[in-house]
Structure 1
Amino acid sequence: MRSIWNGAISFGLVSIPIKLVNATESHAVSFRQIHTEDGGRIRYRKVCELEDREVTQAEIGKAYEDADGSMIPITDEDLSHLPIPTARTIEIVAFVPEERIDPLQMGAAYYLAASGAPAAKPYTLLREALKRSNRVAIAKFALRGRERLGMLRVVGDAIAMHGLLWPDEVRAPEGVAPDAGVTVRDQELDLADALMDTLGEIDLEDLHDEYREALEEVIAAKSAGETPPETREEAAPGKVLDLMAALEGSVRAARESRGGEEAGPAEEAEVRSLRKSGAPSRQAPKETGGKKSTSAGAKKTAAKKAAPKKSTSAAATGGAGAGTGRSGRKAAAKDTAKKTAGRGTATKSAPAKSTATRSAATKSTATKSPAAGSAADKSTAKKSPSRKRSA
């Protein structure tokens, strides 16, 4: 890489000969101005407005334009007497934590290359000192006729310098932020967090200038005498009338676009819908909650299935109505005895005891809920007419 400036880094009493090299480059496609009728180049000519003639570079000097429009000539000799100690030196003035530097101040970036073998040892010393201290160096230097501010930091095995604006060159953000009185709800912040989690991180190496690539395709096609390819027009964004709906739509679109990727932390972001004012917050049930609700439903179903059995017993022991007295109980016992005949003496006593227990339960149930017993009797009567006749 070609150096654009030669000098030295002043590090206390240590002097490090270095070369300044551009750390960045522009890949933008540039155009020339032409005459549209015949394609001729349009060039700028430096003309003296007093003599109305073109002048050469040797005839051009510097001047400062005063407020009234008059020109004050400034010669190179005038500039040579200025008290600039940093004319050929990058003078380090302080070491500060990197977070102290406002990114708004950062400008062009350069690499500082060691100039010659004698610079290798002090260059390495400064680099390792910056690494171990986790700080950056603030320096002054002169470039292209004026003194500038810079920040030195370690990039890999090299020392880089970022040109900085002077603090008074950074404007205060007055009148930029919206007027006070705008409030953001927690639900909107939750959706914004979910959107950020869904988008996740990206490798900056994957980013590229799509506009430049499309422009190069157009130039290549026209150079070959072909029709330029048509580019896809993106839909203009509409007005955001509902911020919550826009955030929810953005989260859905981001998740759909990443549907082919493996699920990660961003996929598990919870999106909670906006609840009405005054309504309690409802959260999505957890997996264990779903199991509990299923068990509860199963218990209810089992209870419904067990109900006809009780009503059947009630119909068998109670006859047409609950509470018929001793005659009803005797008839039920007699009916049960007929059914269990031939099973043995031990078998007869067990059903009789069970029937008596059922009769007591039926009596208790009938006392608590007569309406339920009547409905059960009707249901049982339809299902088993023989039992009704027997009763």
Structure 2
Amino acid sequence: MARPVWTGVLTFGLVTVPVSLYTATDSHTVRFHQLERGTSDRVRNKRFNERTGEEVEFGNIVKGFDTGAGEYVVVEPEELDQISPGRSRTIDVSGFVDLTQVDPIYFDKTYYLGPKGKEYAKVYQLLTDALARSNRAGLAMFSMRGKEYLTAVRAENGLLELHTMHFADEVRDPRQEVGDLPSGEAAYSTQELKTAEQLIDMLAVDWKPEDYHDTFEEQVRKLIEDKAAGREIVISEGPPQEATNVVDLMDVLRRSLADAHGGKAGAADEAKDEPRGRRAGPKAAAAPKAAGGKKSTAGKPAAGTDRPASKKRVSAAGAQEDLSALTKAQLYEKATELGIAHRSTMTRDELQQAVRKATTGRGRLRSVS
């Protein structure tokens, strides 16, 4: 069991429950030491006086706030300690907010909150279930490690989570930060919007976090393993990315829709001919896809009936239909097995096209032999 990073009590109204705080996430980033090139000598950072060039001991360092023109207000560590909020002993919920009102940009880091002992399980579960049923989060100010946080306590999967949050003045205004944002006036046609919505519906997936992984970290570890074993290193630059031509936007949308439909003929025509006031729902659009990545048997002819000639062999369209049911992670695994270059930089659609091309090419080679 993990050790808690904080223990105290959670209160709301007159109800109090002792709790422990645990780190909810972990970083798997590969860590490197700094070495001098051509040697195995470690390189370390030193604190030095930029005027004299002499090294300064840590105990002789104070903080200074630059007021301009090289003038500083010097603050001693003890002075900061005196005004530090210290360590909170209580998470005192001051109010409950509907989670639909909170923009996700305000959430920062997540912690788990657990009851500090089995004897407090009843009160803990009561609060958890009440928050889950109301879809609300408790707001509280909380101090830890010399810093004060705005926090939200919410229920998720039968336990309480504490999220540290950004204050309002820490969230940047996108209109001031991001250039060339759309003015809000629609520059696209109703048909383009309808086709884009249909494409989104057809590519709808269930949230499965285990399907996604850090491919860059995998490549870093593979690079280290290859260099340690003396194997040849191949550097992949990836394919060039080109922006969609606005003039050809409708054509690109229709081809994307046909590709998402598994390459079936007529998918683009469906998007083109569908009445303006109606759009295909997610369930109807997703019908060609079988759950779990298995090939759909919908429309399979009964025993004794003749199959169309085009169905007697595995065609390119059939291969596309199989691939359209796979997640990006599954496509990445196939691309790895096939040795497809630049796969780590590809989108899901690019992976699907590359795998389809590679498997089709192999099928042709087998048929020739």
Alignment partners' CA distance in 2, 1:238 and 1:80: 53
Label 1:62 to 1:29 Cα distance change in 2 as closer, same or farther (>3 A).
Answer: same
Structure 1 residue runs of 5 or longer lacking an equivalent are 260-266, 282-391
Alignment correspondent of 2:272:
272
- How far does the alpha carbon of each residue in 1:195-227 deviate from its partner, in whole angstroms, 9 at most, with x for none? 112212143321112222222212111111112
Q: Which has the larger radius of gyration?
A: 1
Summarize deviations over 1:273-312 as a string: whole Å, max 9, x none. Answer: 799xxxx99xxxxxxxxxxxxxxxxxxxxxxxxxxxxxxx
- Residues 146-204 of structure 1: per-residue CA shift (max 9 Å, x gap): 21111111122321111111122212221542245552211101210121122121433
Cα distance, 1:96–1:246 mapped onto 2, change above 3 Å: same
Are residue 32 (structure 1) and residue 33 (structure 2) matched? yes
Q: Is the 8 A contact 1:29 1:212 kept in 2?
A: yes
- CA deviation after TM superposition for structure 1 residue 98, in Å: 0.8
> Residue 204 of structure 1 aligns to which amino acid in structure 2?
P
Map Cα deviations across residues 100-127 of structure 1 (whole Å, 9 max, x no partner).
1111111111111333455444433322
CA separation in 2, counterparts of 1:109 and 1:55? Answer: 37
Alignment partner, residue 256 of structure 1: 262
Identity rate, percent: 32
1:8 equivalent to 2:9? Answer yes
Which residue of the partner structure matches residue 54 of structure 2? 53
- Equivalence for 1:186: 190
Assess if the C-alpha contact under 8 Å between 2:23 and 2:110 holds in 1: yes
What is the distance in 2 between the residues matched to 1:273 and 1:39? 68
Q: Find the residue that maps to 1:54 and give its secondary structure.
A: coil
Q: Normalised by the size of structure 2, how large is the TM-score?
A: 0.63
Structure in which a larger fraction of residues adopt helix: 1
Give the CA deviation at 1:81: 4.3
The residue that corresponds to 1:225 in the other structure is 230
Retained in 1: the 8 A contact 2:35–2:41? yes
| Candidates 196, 205, 218, aligned match of 1:201 | 205
Could you say if the C-alpha distance between residues 207 and 82 of structure 1 is closer, same or farther in structure 2, counting changes exceeding 3 Å? same
Q: Does 1:131 align with 2:127?
A: no
User: Who is 1:243 aligned against?
Assistant: 249
The 5 A counterparts of 1:1-391 are 1-49=2-50, 52-82=53-83, 84=85, 87-117=88-118, 119-175=120-176, 176=178, 177-179=181-183, 181-202=185-206, 203-228=208-233, 231=236, 233-240=238-245, 241-256=247-262, 270-272=270-272
Alignment partners' CA distance in 2, 1:25 and 1:125: 29
AA aligned to 1:193 is E
Over 3 Å counting, the alpha-carbon distance change for 1:204 and 1:43 in structure 2 is same
Secondary structure, aligned partner of 1:151: strand
**Is contact 2:137-2:154 (8 Å) kept?**
yes
Per the TM alignment, residue 76 of structure 1 is displaced from its structure 2 partner at its CA by 4.9
Distance 2:103 2:127 in 1: 23
Kindly state the Cα deviation for residue 24 of structure 1 after the two structures are TM-superposed. 0.8
Are the aligned partners of 2:20 and 2:115 in contact in 1 as well (CA < 8 Å)? yes
Structure 2 residue runs without a partner (length 5+): 278-369
TM-score (norm 1): 0.60
Confirm or deny: 8 A CA contact 1:244 1:274 kept in the other structure: no
Task: Determine helix, strand or coil for the equivalent of 1:3.
Answer: coil
